[in-house]
Amino acid sequence: MRHIAAFILIFIFALGASVVSIGNPTTIARAQDATPDASCPTTSEEENESIALRWHEEAINEGNLAVIDEIVAPNVLHHAGTFPDGVGPEAVKVVLGALLAGFPDVQHTIEQVITSDGFVVTRWQAEGTHEGEFQGYAPTGKRVTWTGINIFRIECGRIAEEWSEVDGLGRLKQLGVLATPTP
C-alpha cells in the first residue's frame, strides 16, 4: 500500500513539474527556438520593443484601435487585470475601447522598458479625465493618474500574449467612487 501511495505522490509531483515547465515562458521560448518555422519571422529585441510601444502610443494615446489588428496575433491571449481575460484582437479592442470611452484623453507615459527573450515589459503612468462611463461608474469629470505594468510575449512579429497589471483601486479612489477606509 505504501508503494502505491509513493507512486501516486511521485506521479502527481512529476505531473505538476510538467505543467510548470509547459507554462514557463523560458521553456516555451526555448522550444520555439529549437523548431523554427520558416513562415514565422524572427524579430530583434528592438523590433519587439517597437511592437509593444505601438500598443501604448498608437492604440491608447492616439486612440487608434485599428493598430491592434497589425500588432497582435489572431489568437492573442489578453490577461486584462481589471477586466475579464480575452482571446483575439476583438477582445483586446473591447477592453481598450472601454478605457478610451471612460477616459477619452488618456495618455500613457512610458517610464521603463525591459526587453529580453521575446518578452517586453513596460512600466508606465497614465493620466486622463473621467468623461464617460467606466466599469459601471458614471462620469465624474475628475482628472486622475494611475500606474501600470504590461508584459508582452512577442511571437512571429506579433503580440501573442499580454498581461496588464494596473492600479485600478487607486484610480477608483481618485474618482471618489470608493470610500477611503479610516484607521
Domain membership flag for residue 125: yes
In angstroms, the CA 80 to CA 141 distance is 24
The CATH code of the domain that includes 146 is 3.10.450.50
Q: Is the domain of 29 the same as that of 51?
A: no
Same-domain pairing of 104 and 135: yes
Question: For 73-111, what is each residue's pLDDT tens digit?
Answer: 999 999 988 888 999 999 999 999 999 999 999 999 999
Question: Is 126 inside any structural domain?
Answer: yes
> Distance between alpha carbon 128 and the CA centroid of its chain, in Å?
20
Q: Does residue 7 register a pLDDT over 70?
A: no
Edge-to-edge strand order for the sheet containing 158-166? 86-87, 72-79, 158-166, 143-155, 119-129, 107-116
Confidence of residue 40 (pLDDT cuts 50, 70, 90): confident
Question: Residue 144 and residue 175: Cα distance in Å, rounded?
Answer: 7
Residue 121 belongs to a domain: yes
Q: What is the model's pLDDT at position 134?
A: 94
Note down the domain range covering 3.
Answer: 1-35
In a domain, 180, yes or no: no
Same-domain check for residues 57 and 133: yes
Q: Same domain, yes or no, for 152 and 133? A: yes
Q: Looking at per-residue confidence, does 11 or 87 come out higher?
A: 87
Domain contains 167: yes
What is the C-alpha to C-alpha distance for residues 148 and 126, in angstroms, rounded to an integer?
8
Grid cell digits, residue 64: 487608434
